[in-house]
Structure 1
Amino acid sequence: MSTSAVTEPVDIVARLQIAGSAEEFFELLGVAYDPKLLNVARLHILRRMGQYLAGEDLEHLPGDEAAARCKAVLERAYADFVASSPLDQRVFKVLKDAVAPKTPKRPAFVPLDALK
């Protein structure tokens, strides 16, 4: 497992926005991770983190509290994929659509009296 200490909370959101890889997210926030799991589910984990962060209001928080919230959200998103696979979680539309019920297509109906 890889881990790193939480960096200074100087505008953690800005630092996360310029992070170039999933590993940077984990290192910036000091979250331990399994590189094998991260290689398989990196986009899914970050997407789920984004979904969770959408419900958070980090704008008016002090830097250290915002960093702690971001860390908790990343840990929660990561835990989702430790417990189950990306196929089970289905965070992307293409995966959701693959199991969505199909609406039956109605055949085109032309009444006979409309034909000449």
Structure 2
Amino acid sequence: MTDDEFELDLSELSSAEDFLDYFGIAFVPSVVQVNRLHILQRFHDYLEQVDEMPDSTQARWALYADRLKTAYQDFLTSDAATEKVFRVFRMHEPRTVAVPLSDLMEQVSHAPRL
């Protein structure tokens, strides 16, 4: 397989099931049906962590297959709310915000100056 063939194959994949089938990864359809976007985003995130992509197409195919399998396995034992792949799941986490008192005092016209 050439680089161009690999890139063309990838461009034709449109679902998590397509990716899993292409890379020969056995999967439970009900797990993928519920988590398909999360699996694909996690797969993308894992690929982003790779410092340097392999030169050979076969090595890159093997790397992609490994990262996709890992992404899928994350959701075999967990769920979307626990994994928090997307920002929306992290929005309700407690955050610490510091606002200087002087900034607050500027908002109130009759407040004494500090």
1:38 matched to 2:32:
yes
Secondary structure at the aligned position of 1:98 is classed as coil
In the aligned structure 1, how far is the partner of 2:78 from the partner of 2:24?
Answer: 22
Consecutive unaligned residues of structure 1, counting only runs of 5 or more, are 1-8
1:49 matched to 2:43:
yes
Consecutive unaligned residues of structure 2, counting only runs of 5 or more, are none
CA change 1:51–1:92 in 2 (3 A) is same
In the aligned structure 1, how far is the partner of 2:15 from the partner of 2:43?
Answer: 14
- Count residues in correspondence: 105
The residue aligned with 1:96 is 90
1:23 to 13, 17, 20: 17
Secondary structure at the aligned position of 1:82 is classed as coil
Secondary structure at the aligned position of 1:112 is classed as coil
Secondary structure at the aligned position of 2:75 is classed as helix
Cα deviations by residue, 1:66-94 (Å, 9 ceiling, x for unpaired): 11000000011111111111100001011
How far did residue 25 of structure 1 move?
0.3
1:77 to 71, 79, 85: 71
TM-score w.r.t. length of structure 1: 0.76
Q: Percent identity?
A: 28
